[in-house]
Chain A
């Protein structure tokens, strides 16, 4: 077997197609079965659209998290991750796909009014004569509309450009026999540093635009970091699981146990970052007790209590207990197991972020709809990422830190 070039095992390809097929069938069923309840301002198909949005967003954000992590490795000139760089890149390669889904949803909502995920997209919300007039949204309408679209397009184009450029430089470096001055590496260091600057601002503002504006009346300055930490941890889990799986298949035999231990530490640490932000947002709103802020948690507390606690325990207590010891982080089975559980936990987190703003009190608990949609996007994600992995040798050739990473011990 050639362990330099990855070929997708037929079983994995099959699995991704089965997931996509299963997901597609449930998405179609979901749209047919999701009847509205106009008495509670719940329109037909809202839950179905929200699910599709959650799936699109979660995996797009995950890819974005991987792109951020890649840029971070360059900006920090980190050596340990060099051996798994191709895996990080492959996960980030889903970004254009994920963003396309989001863009499609935005267009459908704004121009065709196919769904009601965003209240402010409804025509007449800022028109005092209209029956849909909403004074609060009317006050914010300057931030939405054309300005919102300009920002959205800038985020999408900007992030994709940075990601693709980082990838291209990395591949171009390996086309050379020897990269004498590490010129491509230095280009990426600069690019990575700039990406950090751009990402620091846009990750927050994009969350306000795409996620926080679902609850149009509500605002929280912590939301951006909260969603960002969620995407970061999901990306880390995806990378970890992929690396371990590749190792099991016989690839990446030069990735040391210490490298895997290091990603395990990242998973542990970012789980805490997520918890910190999740709790801080809750605690400040709980303590200040201002009605216009509390409404956010009131909906969740009344109709999404199980989900809220599940998300908290699965994403905080579970990784805290399971990943605390060094031996656990060096045990491949353990990392895979904990990673998979918190991956689902963070998907549920996105469900909990999206649903109360759209479905509201008509929520009836998790069902096959959520899992079906998750399967579709998971299948697509797996297929795209594995496909991206086959495009380049798994082992980086011209990288100044390659030797350091090959001998990485902690």
Chain B
């Protein structure tokens, strides 16, 4: 059983907070999370978040939409009940392909957008009825917080780095029991 301490480092401004993040990372300390009142561009690289895989998801959802739309139109307009609309016979898919493009496009966008939104909500577990997981509500107003879970010796080092960077408060919020890895 290892014990980890939960630390909240509260800052009044984004600049010293980012400075502290850089120094913590340089000292080899893992930053668990950062809570800020507004989005800060480029922070993911600074706190060492891995690259988002959302783009890959979007591509897969988009391709799914393209395929579904093509399948649907092929079945409805070509296979099941061929139509001749405005002298554009659909005895084969390619004969009226320009007419199918807008629907293909819309279905691609529809699937990509909805897929991404749902993925985001599920991945963050923002389904209806969930409680806010914000450890300190002041971060929705004017405070910036670095959230750390650290072992004893690292916690000391982190505290001194935070103080050095002009932290306003360092709050110790109890401990976590971590199962040792086998």
Contact = CB atoms under 8 A, between A and B. Distances in A.
Interface residues of A, number: 13
Contacts of B42: 258, 409-410
B113 interface: no
A283 to B, nearest CB: 5
Interface string B34-49: 0000000110000000
Given A325-B55, A410-B41, A289 B102 contact: no
Greatest chain B CB density within 10 A among A258, A287, A289, A408 is at A287
Interface string A271-296: 00000000100110011110000000
Given A287-B86, A287-B88, A410-B42, A282 B55 contact: no
Interface in B68-114: 86-88, 98-99, 101-102
Contact of B99 (A287, A326, A408, A410): A287
A369 to B, nearest CB: 32
A282 B99 CA distance: 11
B41 A409 contact: yes
Contacts of B87: 289
Contacts of B98: 279, 282-283, 286-287
Interface string A151-162: 000000000000
A279 B101 CA distance: 9
B176 to A, nearest CB: 33
Contact of B55 (A283, A286, A289, A326): A326
A326 B52 CA distance: 11
22 contacts: A258-B41, A258-B42, A279-B98, A279-B101, A282-B98, A283-B98, A283-B99, A283-B102, A286-B98, A287-B86, A287-B88, A287-B98, A287-B99, A288-B86, A289-B86, A289-B87, A325-B55, A326-B55, A408-B41, A409-B41, A410-B41, A410-B42
Contacts of B102: 283
A258 B45 CA distance: 13
Given A283-B102, A325-B55, A410-B42, 6 more contacts: A283-B98, A283-B99, A286-B98, A287-B88, A287-B98, A287-B99
Contacts of A408: 41
Interface of B: 41-42, 55, 86-88, 98-99, 101-102
A283 B96 CA distance: 10
A409 B44 CA distance: 11
A258 B44 CA distance: 14
Nearest to A327: B51
Contacts of B99: 283, 287
Contacts of B86: 287-289
Interface in A391-410: 408-410
Interface in A370-410: 408-410
A286 B88 CA distance: 9
A326 B58 CA distance: 13
Contacts of A288: 86
Instruction: Name the residue in B87, B98, B99 with the highest tally of chain A Cβ atoms < 10 Å from its Cβ.
Output: B98
A409 B43 CA distance: 9
A408 B41 CA distance: 8
Nearest to B59: A324
A283 B101 contact: yes
B106 to A, nearest CB: 12
Nearest to B85: A287
A286 B99 CA distance: 9
B103 to A, nearest CB: 12
The 5 residue pairs across chains A and B that have the minimum distance between CB atoms: A409-B42, A409-B41, A283-B98, A410-B41, A286-B98
Contacts of A325: 55
A408 B40 CA distance: 11
A260 B32 CA distance: 31
A122 B42 CA distance: 61
B109 to A, nearest CB: 11
Contacts of B101: 279, 283
Nearest to A288: B86
A353 B42 CA distance: 43
Contacts of A286: 98
Nearest to B51: A326
Contacts of B88: 287
A279 B41 CA distance: 36
Interface string A303-325: 00000000000000000000001
Contacts of B55: 325-326
A223 B99 CA distance: 20
B60 to A, nearest CB: 14
Interface in A160-212: none
A408 B42 CA distance: 9
Nearest to B105: A276
B34 to A, nearest CB: 15
B134 to A, nearest CB: 25
Nearest to A282: B98
A288 B98 CA distance: 12
A282 B98 CA distance: 9
Nearest to B88: A287
A117 B74 CA distance: 45
A289 B98 CA distance: 13
Contacts of A258: 41-42
